[in-house]
A and B are shown apart, each in its own frame.
Chain A
Amino acid sequence: MSKMKKSPWIMHYDGASCNGCDIEVLACLTPLYDVERFGVINTGNPKHADILLITGGINTQCESVVKQIYSQMAEPKVVVAVGICACNGGVFKDCYNIKGGVDTTIPVDVYVPGCAARPESIIDGVVKAVDILEEKYENMKKKGGKAH
């Protein structure tokens, strides 16, 4: 039975993005795309979230924040990097304060490229993430409720 698939709750975190991708993420909630029809809830609380959606690269300031948010999420959890900045730093790659993509700080499961990533591809990424979430849940069950 797919327990995880039908109610993915998403936490959106804005790293060092230009806000282009954030606008596209929020566009997914509007009547045109309406991700709530898949049971998605945009939550602001890492303790309730299943999927961490990060836009923008990681800089020295937000690094610890991202780590903390990730550690507060309950297993099973999945990370989606939205936009080319979150994938590898994008146009900001060579900035003095940018460490690079999200995977320099926490493990990333799905990469959604694009500048800005379109709502369709973000939804696609979330659908992929949900499958991975389900897989992680199965693994967690096999290990007797223990994550990792």
Chain B
Amino acid sequence: MEEKMLMKGNEAIGEAAIRAGCHFYFGYPITPQSELTAYMAKKLLKMKDAVFVQAESEIAAINMVYGAASTGVRAMTSSSSPGISLKQEGISYIACAELPCVIVNMQRGGPGLGSIQPGQADYFQATKGGGHGDYHLIVLAPSSVQELVDLTMDAFDLADKYTNPAMILGDGLIGQMMEAVEFKERKKINLPDKEGWTLTGCKGREKKYIVPFNLDPYEMEKLNLKIQEKYNKLKEKEVRYETVNLDNADLIIVAYGIVARIAKTVMSNAKKEGINIGLIRPITLFPFPEKIIAETSEKVNKFLVVEMSMGQMVEDVKLAVNGKAEVNFYGRVGGVIPTQSEILTEIKKYLK
């Protein structure tokens, strides 16, 4: 059954999550993602064996996710920047406990209460851990409403596969955008059995416990190393990106999410002026597509990273390029969206 419908980004995430078998949602209202919370309320409160709770705070919401996930169900919470900051302790616990869940961050301008317009300044928080301790989320960055749908479904699979929390890192613009989406029939994939770790009551077996701590530092180090192994596997197997026009490009734009879409318009406008631009669009921000960036830096010697931040992903691009090409940065922040003409002006500066 393939259906096409016109949907707002935030609602599309909700529908995708439900179709991915997530019937447990815990949230707290915040702009610009409130439509998602409302959508889950509308759908889940009418569904049998489904749960929607408007939590008393983002802190409570993520801890409800922790509890629900410990029983083996697919659970989700969503918020926007300030609310995601509040969730960090809980996310760190979930990562340490090695439980799967999905967290949606429709970023807005920061810091502080910031603005309610779109932003990308939570990149560090999303990709470097965010909370305390050495852990990572699987971070997926959609750039269309269709991709919101597909990546939301993938996020649940990846979270289950790696027993690790996954994050959809969108922004206010993509959440508010209306686009046609298709809910494609998905191939059934084999996911690891959850039986080994789920808390269900100890009937017919030994008791199980989930404790994200160990006061013996050597044991705690072992746990860290075990989690680290998953991240290595993620880096090996789950990197995703899109490339456009890498051959013969004069300059490569690296951008993700909504900014990558603006970059595509920049590319075609530049072409009319005889400027040949290529694009690398990371789809997974963790694991980061460093290999393709490194390879490209052997062929093209100018990069421009464009973000709605003061320069966060640019650090990962620089690490990948490792001095082999010039890496420049252009960013707008606080909820301001860079226009294609200002990006083109910026590009021309470097191609003089």
A, B from the same assembly = no
Chain A positions within 8 Å of B, measured between CB atoms, are none
